């Protein structure tokens, strides 16, 4: 089986509980440190243990996503023949990080972040265990517990580490050490929300930011921006992503969006953090509030598809450049109509597509923002072209 979830949600603990409950031998490896050699040694240990004691073995591999395909395949024969029961743990999406052969033989269990009440129980359980062992009495007041829980952000391991640090800093009293809000605030300071710069949380949060902007919700957009920055995301990455959003989701409905995003990126490069982050926030809010259009995005995709379909069609002779005498004699540029010499600066009826390809309408402006006016202009040109075509047929 595969345990997939954030850090500190009990993946290792669950694996140990399974081994204890089934009276199995437990071997723990970390993919950060282990390789094929360690896997083979674990398999041999499992075989020896079964022969000597008649007990099965649970092999727990932490950070399993760090193993490459060949390393992951090394488990398969021994999982198949029952030499060991394999339990992997990962913070990354198994669909992307584990090969299909391993996934087909394992069941994936998704672990969620611990709730605040769960973390409160973890802290109280730790304090009870300390008291039960006859060690120094430690008191944790309610406000301090709340600060530690918030800083732990769903991670039990982090909560316990913060509790340990707070206990070391707590002042001694007649009744033992007392962890108050001031001590808890000191240890919790600088703690960041969960964020993996290359993993699942990264892509989930940038997706949430992008979709909040697309949905014209400036408040949610700002929340996800600050959430990513709080987690340690490179602000320039967000700025670059906003440049993409400006073209994909706003386009010509408000061309100012693209310039504002470029300016935000430049501002951050000049000022750095935290001053430059305000410019990125300004851009995010503007994008969310701007008129939306994906007409440019759809047009570009459609045109790219036709490029693939039609191949390398020749440029029509009247559209070719003719910088030399020979090229002019060959007809390059002949009969080209210079648009600025035409009425309204439009060469009505002219064809700009390759001769072996039908004229296609890729760009469909939406009736919002500046594209409302662009659409009216293109509709008028289309009307004139059709009128010219009808006249030629007559």
pLDDT one-digit tens code per residue, 374-392: 999 999 999 998 888 888 7
**328 and 244 share a domain?**
no
Q: Which residues constitute the domain of residue 181?
A: 116-188
Report whether 237 contacts 273 (CB < 8 A).
no
- Look up the pTM and report it: 0.65
| More confident site: 171 or 149 | 149
**169 and 208 share a domain?**
no
**Strand pairing category for 2-4 and 25-30:** unpaired
Spatial separation of the C-alpha atoms in residues 41 and 33, rounded to whole Å:
14
Q: Which long-range contacts (CB under 8 A, 24 or more apart) does 159-165 make?
A: 159/8, 159/119, 159/122, 159/123, 160/122, 160/123, 160/126, 162/187, 162/188, 162/191, 163/123, 163/126, 163/127
Q: Is residue 304 part of a domain?
A: no
**319 and 364 share a domain?**
yes
DSSP 234-274: -HHHHHHHHHHHIIIIIGGG-THHHHHHHHHHHHHHHH-TT
CATH number at residue 385: 1.10.3710
Q: Is residue 246 part of a domain?
A: yes
CATH number at residue 125: 1.10.8.60
Which pLDDT value is given to residue 200? 59
**165 and 82 share a domain?**
no
**85 and 7 share a domain?**
yes
> pLDDT band at residue 83, thresholds of 50, 70 and 90?
confident
Average pLDDT of the chain to the nearest whole number: 89
pLDDT above 80 for 174: no
**35 and 84 share a domain?**
yes
**59 and 138 share a domain?**
no
**104 and 143 share a domain?**
no
pLDDT digits (tens, 9 = 90+) for 344-363: 898 998 989 999 899 999 99
Report whether 238 contacts 231 (CB < 8 A).
no
Q: Residue 11: which H helix or E strand, with range?
A: helix 11-21
Q: Residue 132: which H helix or E strand, with range?
A: helix 116-132
**205 and 184 share a domain?**
no
Give me the mean pLDDT over the 184-205 stretch: 70
CATH number at residue 242: 1.20.272.10
Please tell me which of 57-61, 71-75, 271-275 the model is most confident about, judged by mean pLDDT.
57-61
Q: Is residue 266 part of a domain?
A: yes
Residue 84: name the closest of 75, 93, 92 by CA. Answer: 75
Q: Is residue 365 part of a domain?
A: yes
Three-class SS state of 186? helix
Which pLDDT value is given to residue 289? 96
CATH number at residue 102: 3.40.50.300
Name the DSSP letter for residue 111. P
Report whether 286 contacts 218 (CB < 8 A).
no
Q: Is residue 308 part of a domain?
A: no
Which pLDDT value is given to residue 304? 94
Number of domains observed in the structure of the chain: 4
Q: Is residue 72 part of a domain?
A: yes
**29 and 85 share a domain?**
yes
Q: Is residue 296 part of a domain?
A: no
Q: Residue 4: which H helix or E strand, with range?
A: strand 2-4
**104 and 120 share a domain?**
no
Q: Is residue 305 part of a domain?
A: no
Report whether 233 contacts 209 (CB < 8 A).
no
**90 and 46 share a domain?**
yes
């Amino acid at each position: 089986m595969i345990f997939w979830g954030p850090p500190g949600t009990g993946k290792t603990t669950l694996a140990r509980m399974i081994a204890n409950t089934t009276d199995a031998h437990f071997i723990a490896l970390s993919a950060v440190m282990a390789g094929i050699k360690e896997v083979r040694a674990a398999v041999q240990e499992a075989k020896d243990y079964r022969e000597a004691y008649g007990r099965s073995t649970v092999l727990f591999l932490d950070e399993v996503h760090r193993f490459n395909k060949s390393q992951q395949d090394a488990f398969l024969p021994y999982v198949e023949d029952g030499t060991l029961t394999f339990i992997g743990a990962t913070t990354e999406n198994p669909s992307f990080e584990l090969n299909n052969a391993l996934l087909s033989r394992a069941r994936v269990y998704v672990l969620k972040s611990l709730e605040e009440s769960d973390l409160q129980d973890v802290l109280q359980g730790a304090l009870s265990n300390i008291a039960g062992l006859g060690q120094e009495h430690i008191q944790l007041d309610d406000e301090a517990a709340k600060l530690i829980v918030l800083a732990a952000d769903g991670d039990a391991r982090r909560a316990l580490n913060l509790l340990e640090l707070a206990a070391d800093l707590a002042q001694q009293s007649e009744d033992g050490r007392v962890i108050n809000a001031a001590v808890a605030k000191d240890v919790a300071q600088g703690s960041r929300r969960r964020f993996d710069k290359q993993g699942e949380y990264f892509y989930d949060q940038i997706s949430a930011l992008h979709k909040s902007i697309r949905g014209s919700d400036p408040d949610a957009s700002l929340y996800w921006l600050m959430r990513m920055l709080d987690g340690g995301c490179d602000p320039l990455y967000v700025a670059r992503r906003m440049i993409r959003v400006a073209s994909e989701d706003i386009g010509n409905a408000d061309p100012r969006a693209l310039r504002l995003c470029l300016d935000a990126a430049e501002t951050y490069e000049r000022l750095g953090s935290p001053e430059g982050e305000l410019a990125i926030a300004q851009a995010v809010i503007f994008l969310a509030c701007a008129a939306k259009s994906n007409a440019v995005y759809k047009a570009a995709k459609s045109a790219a598809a036709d490029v693939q379909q039609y191949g390398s069609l020749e440029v029509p002779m009247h559209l070719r450049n003719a910088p030399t005498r020979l090229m002019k004699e060959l007809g390059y540029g002949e009969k080209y109509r210079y648009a600025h010499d035409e009425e309204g600066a439009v060469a009505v009826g002219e064809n700009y597509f390759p001769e072996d390809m039908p004229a296609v309408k890729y760009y469909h402006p939406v009736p919002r923002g500046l594209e409302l006016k662009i659409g009216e202009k293109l509709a008028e040109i289309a009307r004139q072209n059709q009128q010219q075509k009808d006249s030629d047929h007559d």
